[in-house]
Structure 1
């Protein structure tokens, strides 16, 4: 005879739908219990936060009262914080490197401007010593001398600078070389 094992061939087998129903019931109970625990913990945290805010407000008030007794104003605090930050910045490596770089750049720029100034001065000196500049300078001196003599020779008529200049130009244009030699001085002969 064949022996049958109990459970393998039960007359009413458990279907999959039944298993899902059982697991749904367990999950709902588990989720509900877990949710209640989380809500309870959240409520406790909110109470703790509220208590800590009250304690912090009380401590901040006490802090302000102590500062007022010491005479520490917000402006003084700002100055102290600024000075501390400025000191921290100056002692930082980045600030020191930047400062050194700018100092080197400033020295090089100063040297470049000094060299440029020297070169410009030398060029002006060379230009002043050039024959064309000397010729121009002599012509200007002659014109000024002629203007002065024309003004002196005008017997006190006076007049503006423009009048004197135009009369000097008119006089020098009308003079002939023979008149120029007899009437002008030795200085005018070189002009």
Structure 2
């Protein structure tokens, strides 16, 4: 098969555009008149159809008004219909299933995390350090209750606090506050 490049000096008789233009030139006066009449008739039909359409649109609008259908209701109905169409789509169903599955997996992960944290707090509470701290707090609280709630010989509230601080400092050797400089009041 021989391929030929086209250029400025093509020898093809007529191209499609040339044929279209040539058909106008070749028309006889009678054919031109007939086509002109057909064009006029089509213009009149188009005008008539536009008038009929405008009349039908007006009638349509009046009927909607009588039924109480306004543009806002139409928008709402279109939105509702669109939402229902979207929910019935395969893509929406797949996305919904994926999100549901992810939510369930996240729920399981948080549940596992919560039980792990709960177990760790339980382990911490049972540790010797925490038990020792808990005993010191209980001892201090019972001392304060005894001093405040006992007979009137217990002293003032300040006395109770200072005795509790002394008891606490005796239990922990690193709480020596005597080395600290006095702060202005």
TM-score (norm 1): 0.59
* Residue of structure 2 aligned with 1:142, choices 119, 139, 142: 139
Hey, what does 2:89 align to over in structure 1? 92
Whether the 8 Å contact between 1:67 and 1:73 is mirrored in structure 2 is yes
Task: Give the structure, 1 or 2, with the largest relative contact order (CA under 8 Å, sep 6 or more).
Answer: 1
Hey, what does 2:69 align to over in structure 1? 72
Q: Which has the higher helix share?
A: 1
Q: Provide the secondary structure at the position in 2 that maps to 1:72.
A: coil
Task: Give unmatched runs, 5+ long, in structure 2.
Answer: 1-21, 171-185
**Corresponding position: 1:83 with 2:45:** no
Q: 1:170 to 1:141 in 2, by over 3 A?
A: closer
**Corresponding position: 1:125 with 2:126:** no
Worse-matched range after superposition: 62-71 or 125-134:
62-71
Q: 1:171 to 1:62 in 2, by over 3 A?
A: same
Give aligned pairs, total.
Answer: 143
Whether the 8 Å contact between 2:144 and 2:161 is mirrored in structure 1 is no
**Corresponding position: 1:115 with 2:112:** yes
Provide the C-alpha distance between the structure 1 equivalents of 2:160 and 2:54, rounded to a whole number of angstroms: 90
Provide the C-alpha distance between the structure 2 equivalents of 1:59 and 1:127, rounded to a whole number of angstroms: 82
**Corresponding position: 1:104 with 2:95:** no
Q: How does 1:1-191 map to 2 (within 5 A)?
A: 30=25, 50-152=47-149, 155=152, 163=158, 166-169=161-164, 172=167
User: Which is greater in Rg?
Assistant: 1
Task: Give unmatched runs, 5+ long, in structure 1.
Answer: 1-26, 176-191
Whether the 8 Å contact between 2:144 and 2:160 is mirrored in structure 1 is yes
